[in-house]
Structure 1
Amino acid sequence: MSTKFLKPLLLLIALGVFHSQPVLSGGGHPHDGSNHEDEKNHGAETPANVVTQYNNYTELFVEFPPLVVNQAATFVTHFTRLNNFKAVTEGTLDVILSRNRKVVARFRVKKPARKGIFLPDVVPNKTGIFELALELKTDSWTSRHNLGSITVFNNLDEAYIENKSSDAEVSYLKEQQWENPFAISKSQFVKLRTSVPGFGTVTAPLNQYTIIRAPDDGYFSSGKIISAGESVNINDELGSLIPRLGEDTDIGELIVDLERAKSRFELAKADVKRLKQLFNKGSVSEKLYMEAQKELNIAVVELKTTQSRLRQRSGGVESVGINIEAPIKGEVLSVHVHPGSFVREGDPMFSLAAKEMRWLKVQVPEKFGEKIHTTSGVWLKHNNRTLVLDKQSQALIVNTSREVNPLTRTVEVAIAYPSEKGPSLIGARLPVYLYIGEPKLSLAIPVSAIIDDNGQSVVYVQTNGESFERRVVTLGIRDNNTIEITSGIEPNEWVVSKGAYYVKLASTGGDSIGHGHAH
């Protein structure tokens, strides 16, 4: 980090030959406008102390020569905000020497020399061992770094480095980190959940989705045009259907049809009520309950159609129509008719769904079928975001299949969730990962830290503020944006979690990422 100058070069410096050049201090950084003669005379000849430390607010990276009594030592101090990994651009910095919890000396600079870099000169007037701290104060926060013991020596001959720099293979300067996308994360043990791949289809919950079909052949009539996206309440009128009646239609037959339709409606309504209670208790399957609900919907349409046809025939008014009403509260998803259009019996006219909830029906390969009953949710990519649907996002497992679909060779899990928590487009099909089993305590880092380097999974570990080490790692469980590392790093190491590719470029000596200062 520091630069050793040859004796002839020192003589030239002493004579002022390079007087107009920026002074190099603390590892060879040029700092415009500084003139630290003592630091030039001895600090640049001696390797620097190098310390990197983190607290809740900042990362401190500081380089300084051994401290010698009554000699100035420039602390080349880099401060990075940990909330955005950008340079600190304001604040007052104190370098504090203390002993027995009492401040012995304090050295202050009131602003950075340039973005992110403070250059306090420390001139101790006593020898011995002191506690060293750096304290940065701004108008809104204070960041203190306690660096432990430091020695103030009698002379340069007996001085030595107490905090040595690492011999990492990659140098990536602070100015580069501040200007390019960059972040670091600490490797730590967290609970991860195993997941298996599958595909999920977005649907509406039971009783909250319907397709309104034409009850008879006829012409659709409406006083207004219904559009997709409109909100409707239950029993809202969407229009009417003017059926075509043949001349040979017998009124007696219509009366019999009406009584038959009433009877079928009452039976279907009672059946749905009974099966709903059993379904809520888990005594009957979802399929059986849905079939009963479908029969009720058909019975409602048949009853209304028969009533309308009877009124039309008995009154002789050809303009009497069958009211088309919304059977549920929600929004219009699709419209297949417009005023004046002719439809055949059974043709779709509208599709409606409730807005509040969605279901995700997940199909996974049959080889995972024995494990799906342990699921706690899913994670998926949607609109360039990673989403987790589990209890924390108010999602609920509503059904797990106990049989393999013979056509797709998959098993199914249904998950209910609030529409705003996940994908809401009904019918959308998405790749998902279904959580199975209990969480496992694992050493993990962000997935974004992993680089595929010629088929190897690689991360870059920060060993000092501007030094990094390339590590080949072995991957384990992936849970959302976090991945288990089974070998290659240790707990509490800092890995580059954003901008790792820029560090890789720096390791190859590329010039495209720019340099802030010379080393």
Structure 2
Amino acid sequence: MPNTKTATTRTRTTSTVTTAGSRMTTDRSRAGRTGTTLLVLVLLVLLVLSGCGVEEAGHGHEHGDEAGHAHGDAAGGAHAEESSGEPVVVTDYTAQTELFVEFPPLVAGESSTFLAHVTRLSDFQPMRSGRMDVVLAQGDRTVARFRVNEPARDGLFTPAVTPREAGEFRLLLRVAGEGLEVEHDLGAFRVYESRQAARVTAPAAEGDISYLKEQQWNDVFAAEPVFERPLRPSVLGFATVAAPADAGAELRAPADGYMTHRELARAGDRVEAGEVLGFVVPRLGAETDFGSLRVELEQARSTLALARRDVERLAPLFEQGAVPERRLIEARERVEVAQAEFEAARARLQQYEQGDGEAGIALRSPAAGEVVEVSTRPGAFVRSGDRVFRIASPDHRWLEIRLPERFAGDIGQSSGAWLEGEDGGAVVLDEASGARVVQTEAAVDPTTRTVGVTLDYPIDQGPKLIGARLPAHVFVAAAEPRLAVPRSAVIEDGGRDVVYVQTGGETFDRRPVRLGIVDGDYVEVLAGLSAGERVVSRGAYSVRLAAAGGNDIGHGHAH
């Protein structure tokens, strides 16, 4: 800048001298005085401009010093001009914690302040208490240890490390507190003899997206490594929640009549076998049914006895080869039917006998369980055979799933199913959750052209509301190891499936991926990722916003 200003001054002088020369014939002495004055002015201008140049350089230094000081203050470190090279940045993981640490190259006899961010991987929150030891070791011998007994602020420990001698050391950071005791082994690091020797260039951080620790701790955030998981292919069907056929019952009206206001059970009630759920007052003339019920019971008893005798007669004949097995099987089936009819007739008669004329016929629960449906109300008229109550197991439900007929050959290997949960996660019904396949249909329904799979599951593992309909994905093959990520890690960006890979404690990379099969909360990755990389499993959209925000997202972060 001084040279430029000097050149400008000379141009002005030449111009002035030329003007004075044209007047020499009219006023020679005046021209001499003018030349002298101009020379003095030129010298003064040069002095002023030279002083301004020095002042500006000093002003520039003040800005540099101020910037370095602010940076050091935020970190608890030194001025920028005291730095001994580019800082070392390391991200390391244990099973319990993530360490993101930044520190200047280590120089013998000089203090280096570490900025160590410690995150609990159980909830991705900062460690708010505890101590940190920075250890320099050679082999199994501890050469030096530097401790801070508490973080400078949530998640940030700032130990000052002053090595006594130069050389190669293992660098260990040990953290203890909040029920944790972990060690991060950062490997071999050199302690330099001087600042000049420490002026090395650190490798550039991978990932062009900055998302700071303070943002991660304050937002919903989690990340996890990518590796192979056992995944099962599945096909989509539609399911209906039902009461288990082997652990429930329906209670029907034994006669035409009206429901009384006494002791009418409500949906959700837990009942025991034989407990009264309500009363039906038969309409006038219905008392003649009492005798009919006795006759019906005796007929059922007689039919049952005949069926049993038929089985007793055919069994030895079958053993002798005198009759085919089919006849014996049919006889046994007739016994089962007759037994059911006998028990039903006896139950209807007992309802009449246990009621009274004023209260009506008592409707007693045939099994213990939960009342899941009440199809009437006090004073309502019911016809004989109408379903009044439905009782279901209080502990289990069935999921009846219908699938397109083209999958009929696959459902025989089904191990369960998965559903979309209310919170956005998956509900997996398989052996691990206590579910089991109780039935797979071998025939196609001629009306709907579908096949069915029925699952039994604990009520606390899946949908509870009987009659609810929802989509369900039925597993149709055994699990195989496949590279997988959480479904929550994948977002759609510009029409493509994208995940965000954590390349460092605060750096991320946008990665398009190609996806495969889905098994519950995980989806197969066919291309775009490698095993061992870490993907953002919660808060991927926030990282996307950080990417869109550019450098402003990271403004104000202290290093």
Q: Do they superpose with TM above 0.5?
A: yes
2:256 to 194, 209, 217: 217
Q: Note if 1:54 corresponds to 2:98.
A: no
CA contact (8 A) 1:308 1:321 kept: no
Give the drift of 1:202.
Answer: 1.3
SS of residue matched to 2:109: coil
2:190 aligned partner: 151
1:196 to 232, 235, 247: 235
Amino acid at match of 2:434: Q
2:78 aligned partner: 36
Give the drift of 1:489.
Answer: 1.0
User: Which is further off, 98-107 or 255-264?
Assistant: 255-264
Give the drift of 1:373.
Answer: 0.4
Equivalences for 1:400-411 in 2 at 5 Å? Answer: 400-411=440-451
2:456 aligned partner: 416
Cα deviation per residue 1:223-268 (whole Å; 9 max; x = unaligned)? Answer: 4232222222223333443434659969997875553354457689
CA distance in 2, matches of 1:160, 1:503: 33
SS of residue matched to 1:407: coil
CA contact (8 A) 2:228 2:481 kept: yes
Amino acid at match of 2:527: S
Taking every aligned residue pair, what percent have the same amino acid on both sides? 40
CA contact (8 A) 1:31 1:113 kept: no
Describe the shift of the 1:241–1:107 C-alpha distance in structure 2 as closer, same or farther (beyond 3 A).
closer
Amino acid at match of 1:414: T
1:130 aligned partner: 169
Give the drift of 1:109.
Answer: 2.3
2:417 to 372, 378, 384: 378
Give the drift of 1:297.
Answer: 6.1
CA contact (8 A) 1:97 1:130 kept: yes
CA contact (8 A) 1:48 1:161 kept: no
2:386 aligned partner: 347
Amino acid at match of 1:448: S
CA contact (8 A) 1:207 1:293 kept: no
Q: Note if 1:98 corresponds to 2:140.
A: no
CA distance in 2, matches of 1:376, 1:47: 56
Cα deviation per residue 1:181-203 (whole Å; 9 max; x = unaligned)? Answer: 11110001111111111111111
Describe the shift of the 1:421–1:247 C-alpha distance in structure 2 as closer, same or farther (beyond 3 A).
closer
CA distance in 2, matches of 1:248, 1:234: 26
Give the drift of 1:359.
Answer: 1.3
Give the drift of 1:458.
Answer: 0.7
CA distance in 1, matches of 2:431, 2:289: 59
CA contact (8 A) 1:269 1:296 kept: no
CA contact (8 A) 2:351 2:363 kept: no
Describe the shift of the 1:141–1:309 C-alpha distance in structure 2 as closer, same or farther (beyond 3 A).
closer
Larger radius of gyration: 2
User: Which is further off, 241-250 or 123-132?
Assistant: 241-250
CA distance in 2, matches of 1:268, 1:447: 59
CA distance in 2, matches of 1:216, 1:18: 95
CA distance in 2, matches of 1:486, 1:123: 49
CA distance in 1, matches of 2:339, 2:496: 59
Cα deviation per residue 1:47-66 (whole Å; 9 max; x = unaligned)? Answer: 22111100122211111222
Describe the shift of the 1:412–1:132 C-alpha distance in structure 2 as closer, same or farther (beyond 3 A).
same
Describe the shift of the 1:93–1:295 C-alpha distance in structure 2 as closer, same or farther (beyond 3 A).
same
CA distance in 2, matches of 1:48, 1:212: 78
2:219 to 180, 204, 208: 180
SS of residue matched to 1:490: coil
2:71 to 19, 24, 27: 24
Describe the shift of the 1:120–1:239 C-alpha distance in structure 2 as closer, same or farther (beyond 3 A).
closer
Once superposed, what is the RMSD of the aligned Cα atoms?
3.7
2:549 aligned partner: 509
Amino acid at match of 1:374: Q
CA distance in 2, matches of 1:513, 1:299: 78
User: Which is further off, 318-327 or 434-443?
Assistant: 318-327
Equivalences for 1:386-397 in 2 at 5 Å? Answer: 386-397=426-437
Cα deviation per residue 1:356-404 (whole Å; 9 max; x = unaligned)? Answer: 2221111111121111001111111233252211112221211111111
2:493 aligned partner: 453
CA distance in 2, matches of 1:270, 1:386: 55
Cα deviation per residue 1:30-89 (whole Å; 9 max; x = unaligned)? Answer: 526x3524xx3342x732211110012221111122222222222222111111111222
Q: Note if 1:87 corresponds to 2:126.
A: yes
CA distance in 1, matches of 2:251, 2:359: 20
Q: Note if 1:12 corresponds to 2:62.
A: yes
Give the drift of 1:323.
Answer: 3.9
The number of aligned residues is: 483
Amino acid at match of 1:18: E
Q: Note if 1:333 corresponds to 2:375.
A: no
CA distance in 2, matches of 1:250, 1:60: 82
1:364 aligned partner: 403
CA distance in 2, matches of 1:209, 1:250: 28
CA contact (8 A) 2:304 2:335 kept: no
SS of residue matched to 1:458: strand
CA distance in 2, matches of 1:253, 1:145: 85
Describe the shift of the 1:114–1:223 C-alpha distance in structure 2 as closer, same or farther (beyond 3 A).
closer
Amino acid at match of 1:157: Q
CA distance in 1, matches of 2:243, 2:339: 18
Equivalences for 1:250-329 in 2 at 5 Å? Answer: 257=296, 259-263=298-302, 300-303=343-346, 322-329=361-368
CA distance in 1, matches of 2:103, 2:354: 98
2:534 aligned partner: 494
Describe the shift of the 1:468–1:369 C-alpha distance in structure 2 as closer, same or farther (beyond 3 A).
same
Cα deviation per residue 1:324-377 (whole Å; 9 max; x = unaligned)? Answer: 322222122222344544322232222222222221111111121111001111
Give the drift of 1:456.
Answer: 0.6
CA distance in 1, matches of 2:501, 2:454: 41
1:108 aligned partner: 147
Describe the shift of the 1:516–1:97 C-alpha distance in structure 2 as closer, same or farther (beyond 3 A).
same
CA distance in 2, matches of 1:23, 1:321: 89
CA contact (8 A) 2:238 2:401 kept: yes
CA distance in 1, matches of 2:283, 2:309: 32
CA distance in 1, matches of 2:479, 2:541: 31
User: Which is further off, 433-442 or 332-341?
Assistant: 332-341
Give the drift of 1:18.
Answer: 3.3
Describe the shift of the 1:292–1:383 C-alpha distance in structure 2 as closer, same or farther (beyond 3 A).
farther
1:439 to 461, 474, 479: 479
Cα deviation per residue 1:166-216 (whole Å; 9 max; x = unaligned)? Answer: 242111111111111111100011111111111111112224333322222
CA contact (8 A) 1:358 1:419 kept: yes
SS of residue matched to 2:432: helix
User: TM-score scaled by structure 2?
Assistant: 0.76
Amino acid at match of 1:416: D
Describe the shift of the 1:387–1:253 C-alpha distance in structure 2 as closer, same or farther (beyond 3 A).
closer
SS of residue matched to 1:24: helix
CA distance in 1, matches of 2:432, 2:289: 61
CA distance in 1, matches of 2:66, 2:495: 49
SS of residue matched to 1:184: strand
